[in-house]
């Protein structure tokens, strides 16, 4: 049987990610975002500034536990191979959720996540930057994958579908910020239904 347990190096990497995030969240709760520095976060986590930047690009990312997006191969394959039809939007939403989840390197949201984001608009701006990067990555990879087997119209259709899926996810997130951790959340199903109904009315 194949061993699926993470190795020592991976466990240490995750522990450091989480230690830095905990330090960042604690300091921001104590002092505010603008008065918290990378040096203070690194010092509280017991690592150097150089080590900090090996894990996070900035203090906002440390608070969010966020990093560059990646595309899970399985979710990408399921989307690319999906037949045309209503279910393809669901595949697109699942793909966008998988990529969004990859941004959260330190695991699920911290217990203070909502309050911190509400208090510090810079965190929302940083989340939006990651979202833009994720969409650009997705459209680029999808163009490469689908372009090999279909024409430019199919690529444009896939890009439009990914953009629509991102909008569906943002719509659902406004009602339930936990949708990223629960792809079966009613808010996500309802959001998909709203957009399908709206598009049908426009056609």
CATH number at residue 50: 1.10.10.60
For the segment 101-124, the average pLDDT, to the nearest whole number, is 81
Residue 1 falls within a domain, yes or no?
no
Which range, 2-11, 115-124, 140-149, has the best average confidence (pLDDT)?
A: 115-124
For the segment 123-134, the average pLDDT, to the nearest whole number, is 88
Nearest alpha-carbon partner for 153 in 162, 143, 145, 163: 143
pLDDT at 114 over 90: no
Residue 68 falls within a domain, yes or no?
no
pLDDT tier for residue 5 given thresholds of 50, 70 and 90: low
User: For 28-45, b where at least 16 C-beta lie within 10 A, e where not — what string?
Assistant: bbeeebeebebebbbebb
Asked if 117 and 179 sit in the same domain, the reply is yes
Quote the pLDDT of residue 1.
Answer: 46
For the segment 190-197, the average pLDDT, to the nearest whole number, is 92
Determine the Cα–Cα distance for residues 51 and 173; give it in Å rounded to an integer. 33
Asked if 97 and 189 sit in the same domain, the reply is yes
Between residues 99 and 183, the one the model is more confident about: 99
Asked if 47 and 79 sit in the same domain, the reply is no
Residue 169 falls within a domain, yes or no?
yes
In order of 97, 140, 152, 154, 158, the CA distances from 144 in angstroms are: 20, 6, 11, 11, 11
What CA dihedral angle connects 99, 100, 103 and 105, to 10 degrees? -100
How many domains, in total, are found in the chain?
A: 2
- The pTM of this model reads 0.78
Asked if 136 and 181 sit in the same domain, the reply is yes
Quote the pLDDT of residue 6.
Answer: 67
Determine the Cα–Cα distance for residues 54 and 70; give it in Å rounded to an integer. 17
Quote the pLDDT of residue 20.
Answer: 96
pLDDT at 13 over 80: yes
Residue 67 falls within a domain, yes or no?
no
Question: Which structural domain range is residue 120 located in?
Answer: 73-202
pLDDT at 2 over 60: no
pLDDT tier for residue 35 given thresholds of 50, 70 and 90: very high
Determine the Cα–Cα distance for residues 184 and 170; give it in Å rounded to an integer. 15
Which range, 52-56, 116-120, 152-156, 171-175, has the best average confidence (pLDDT)?
A: 52-56
For the segment 134-140, the average pLDDT, to the nearest whole number, is 86
Asked if 81 and 53 sit in the same domain, the reply is no
Structure-token match 């239904």, residue found: 193
């Amino acid at each position: 049987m194949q061993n699926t347990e993470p190795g020592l190096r991976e466990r240490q990497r995750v522990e450091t990610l989480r230690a830095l995030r905990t330090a960042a969240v604690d300091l921001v709760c104590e002092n505010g975002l603008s008065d918290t520095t990378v040096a203070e976060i690194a010092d509280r986590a017991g690592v150097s500034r150089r080590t900090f930047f090996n894990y996070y690009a900035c203090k906002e990312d440390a608070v969010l536990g966020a990093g560059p997006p990646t595309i899970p191969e399985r979710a990408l394959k399921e989307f690319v191979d999906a037949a045309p039809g209503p279910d393809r939007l669901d595949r697109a939403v699942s793909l966008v959720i998988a990529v969004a989840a990859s941004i959260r390197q330190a695991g699920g949201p911290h217990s203070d996540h909502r309050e911190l984001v509400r208090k510090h608009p810079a965190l929302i701006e940083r989340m939006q930057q990651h979202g833009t990067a994720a969409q650009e990555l997705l459209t680029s990879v999808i163009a490469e994958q689908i372009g090999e087997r279909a024409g430019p119209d199919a690529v444009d259709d896939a890009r439009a579908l990914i953009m629509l899926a991102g909008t569906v996810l943002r719509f659902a997130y406004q009602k339930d910020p936990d949708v990223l951790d629960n792809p079966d959340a009613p808010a996500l199903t309802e959001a998909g239904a709203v957009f399908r109904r709206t598009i049908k009315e426009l056609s």
